[in-house]
Structure 1
Amino acid sequence: MELDEPTPYEEDWLDVLDELRNSPAVDVLNEAREDIDVTAEDTAFDDLAEWEGIEIGAELRSAYIRFAQLGSQWRTVEPYPYLTGEFQLTPLPLAVHEDAPEFPSSLYSDEQRDMATGFRVIDASPFTGTGSFVALRLQPGVENPEVWYSDHRTNTLWPMNLDYRAYMDALRLTKGVFDWQHLFTEAPLGDEEFAGAAADLRVMLDVFVEIFPDHDYSDLKARLRERT
């Protein structure tokens, strides 16, 4: 296989874009479908280990994509209930060498901002500019980094109870519906503060069963029931 040809895993991600683009229930507002960046390769992880003493486990190295950018901003159309979503992925070998995002001192504690120096953004929403993003937290001695969700609406950093590979798997199911990440945080989805997010997640799981019938949403439905 040529270096610039997509792997089967990368083909799965192109299928996600095609599912959104080809669904009569969805209006794709913006899409990022860039070429494979052949510099996004395993040697980046070796450099990370050599320069910063941070090892990335072999399992994660098999779960990343190499597209320079890949993402979609979309919304449902009538007669379906209104939903919006967005994701934009940065290749893991490139993300690990990016700078950490900045957190204003007026909104976050010194402890939070110190912890976030290890953050490397892997998923964001640049088209809508919400400011929310998902990051890996790089730490020496941790081969399978924590995944954190920065929620702009609550100005809160939420650890997610899944790893990078599981995050990518869940994202393929949810297509980036806003706040889907809270299915995997400890956010109190039954509280009034999260009523809007919980309502959107219910709509997602009801509608997606119909418009994306090739996917199994039973685990996500069970998770939402447990959380609310």
Structure 2
Amino acid sequence: MTALNHLESLHFSSIRGLRRAGEIQIDDESWNDPTESFSDLQPLSEFGEEWADIHLDRDMLEECLRIPGLAVHWHTRDPLPGFFGEYRVPDPFEILTQGPDPAVETVSPGFKRDFVSQLRYIDSAYYSGSGAMTYLRLLPNSSPLEIWHYELAHIGGEPNPTGYVRLDLTYRQYVENLLITKGTRGWQYLFADISFQNPSVTGLGDHLKRMLEAFPSLFPEHDYAPLRDRLEARL
């Protein structure tokens, strides 16, 4: 078995922490042996012309999650208030071999279709079926690479298709925040330019309030104050 890198070891410990928390029930999880890293899979041009002028962030090349199909879905149990979380993070090979999102066929030709065609998913709500997805945008000669989140909601907007919002995160920061939030439903909006007063996402704001009430005592190794500040700024 290939040894885990530091980031993978943290994720292994994070899932183990979920298992140990008596107030949390894991419904599904997947963990496999590490495979190739982004740096092992250079040059990117071998994976298609859309990757030819893409420059991966330096910290993506230094370390990444190489676990194929890394995934977990969980929900809280009494006496905690009800909320849940999930994520499925593809390994580098899966990211590089993805085609455009099938949603591209539903978008009118022009900028919006070009935008959706540049997206490759790096996280999905694979278990709940909520439709939430997070993407890396293949924007040539851009650094750091943009991270976008999609929800079946009336948020975002022109010039992009409705439902897509850019996150103030890099790829590395995204997978690091999964360690803190455990993939709690809606956590991505803590890093987006949105308001939870928008009726489309008000329920997700309530979800995050519950997370920030429960997690500091469940997972005291993490500092939740910065996330609490971000939530308050969006209420």
The reply to whether TM is greater than 0.5 is yes
CA gap of 1:162–1:108, structure 2 versus 1, over 3 A, is farther
Q: Deviations over 1:77-122 (max 9, x none)?
A: 0010001110011123430331121226657784322112111111
Q: Distance in 2 between matches of 1:17 and 1:87?
A: 11
- 2:219 counterpart of 1:216: no
**Contact kept? 2:38, 2:64, Cα under 8 Å:** no
Tell me the amino acid that sits aligned with residue 41 of structure 2: A
Q: Distance in 1 between matches of 2:43 and 2:226?
A: 36
Q: TM-score, normalised by structure 2?
A: 0.88
Tell me the amino acid that sits aligned with residue 227 of structure 1: R
Q: Distance in 2 between matches of 1:220 and 1:49?
A: 39
**Contact kept? 1:71, 1:86, Cα under 8 Å:** yes
2:28 is aligned, of 10, 26, 30, to 30
List gaps (5 residues or longer) in structure 1.
none
Q: Distance in 1 between matches of 2:45 and 2:58?
A: 14
Q: TM-score, normalised by structure 1?
A: 0.90
2:214 is aligned, of 188, 207, 211, to 207
Tell me the amino acid that sits aligned with residue 26 of structure 2: V
C-alpha RMSD over aligned residues: 2.1
Q: Distance in 2 between matches of 1:84 and 1:114?
A: 34
Q: Distance in 2 between matches of 1:195 and 1:57?
A: 33
- Alignment-derived partner of residue 159 in structure 2: none
List gaps (5 residues or longer) in structure 2.
155-161
Report the count of equivalent residues: 225
**Percent identical residues:** 24
Give 1:35 shift: 1.8
- 2:142 counterpart of 1:135: no
Tell me the amino acid that sits aligned with residue 28 of structure 2: N
**Contact kept? 2:5, 2:63, Cα under 8 Å:** no
Give 1:137 shift: 0.2
Q: Distance in 2 between matches of 1:130 and 1:83?
A: 14
- 2:162 counterpart of 1:149: no
4+ runs deviating over 6 angstroms: none
